[in-house]
Amino acid sequence: MFPLEIIGGGRMGEALLSGLLGADVVEAADVVVVEVSADRRTQLADLFPGVTVAETPVAAADVVVATKPAGAADAVTAVVAAGAQRVLSIAAGVTTATLEAAAGTDLPVVRCMPNTPALVGQGASAVAAGTHATADDLDWARTVLGAVGLVVEVPEDQLDAVTGVSGSGPAYVFLFAEALRDAGTAAGLPAELSAQLALQTVVGAAALLADGQGTPEELRAAVTSPNGTTQAAIEKFEELGLRQVVTQAVQAATDRSRELGA
């Protein structure tokens, strides 16, 4: 029996595997990745020498379900039949109740909402325990997810809001970077130069926040000189309702996450 099995070799499955191996949480020989695509199996085998890559679930004690939401319940049913002892699911919107029903046993289930910066070890993940999950199961989930970034624990009824903030959140930042790039071009900058400046501005601002240089409010105030250029821009953002737009967008993502789990 393998110590760890990852069901789904997509971007998040690959990110978790890379983080776990890089942090020496597991050895390559102790991991199996299950992936239905033959081409993707070949890619994964090349990327992770020593890791077993399979088409269908095999016997494994600990399982991470990294499939698309529609396939999560079937994946749990399959891994339970293969002998799984506990499951961590990263399928968006799929509740622990749904996964426990699919298991048909007292299988410990931990549900997680990660995000794509896990691909570069900068993820933000929230975990919630199912009915049968113990503190040990949560510690295991934190260890797995901690290999690729920050991990917090929340009640399951908050995971949809987590999805709206951090799960979908990277796309909001990318959209802002895209808009900033295009705005620079519209203001007269060459497209390539505007793209460089916009990208580095987003990266640099995030680095200041991550470095603990101040809260978002403090850092914004430090840049905003009275009656200066930044103040003119901030006033325009406020006039056009940026905060309200962000609030409504996060709520829309939260609502959609609830719909997916219904």
Q: How confident is the model at residue 170 (pLDDT cuts 50, 70, 90)?
A: very high
Residues 214 and 173 in one domain: yes
CA distance 7 to 5: 6
Residue 180 belongs to domain spanning:
169-261
Q: Residue 1: pLDDT band by 50, 70, 90 thresholds?
A: low
**128 & 19 share domain:** yes
Query: What CATH number should be reported for the domain holding residue 234?
Result: 1.10.3730.10
Say whether both 148 and 181 belong to one domain: no
CATH number, position 147: 3.40.50.720
Contact 2, 28 (CB under 8 A): no
177 in the same domain as 77: no
Classify residue 164: in a domain, yes or no.
no
Burial class (CB in 10 A: 0-12, 13-18, 19+), 147: buried
pLDDT of residue 257: 86
CB atoms within 10 A of CB 56: 10
141 phi/psi in degrees, rounded to 5? -60, -40
Q: Tens digit of pLDDT for each residue in 213-259?
A: 899 999 999 999 999 999 999 999 999 999 999 999 999 999 998 88
Q: What is the pLDDT of residues 16-45, one digit of tens each?
A: 999 999 888 899 999 999 999 999 999 999
Measured distance CA(236)–CA(230) in Å, rounded? 10
Give me the half-sphere count of Cα atoms (radius 13 Å) on the Cβ side of residue 70.
0
Rounded to 5°, angle at Cα 207 from 204 and 209: 115
- Do 151 and 176 share a domain, yes or no? no
Please tell me whether residues 244 and 140 are part of one structural domain.
no
Instruction: Summarize pLDDT for 38-67 with one digit per residue, the tens.
Output: 999 999 999 999 999 999 888 778 999 999
Number of domains within the chain: 2
**Single-letter residue type at 87:** V
Q: Same domain for 98 and 195?
A: no
DSSP secondary structure code for residue 129 in this structure: E
pLDDT value at residue 229: 96
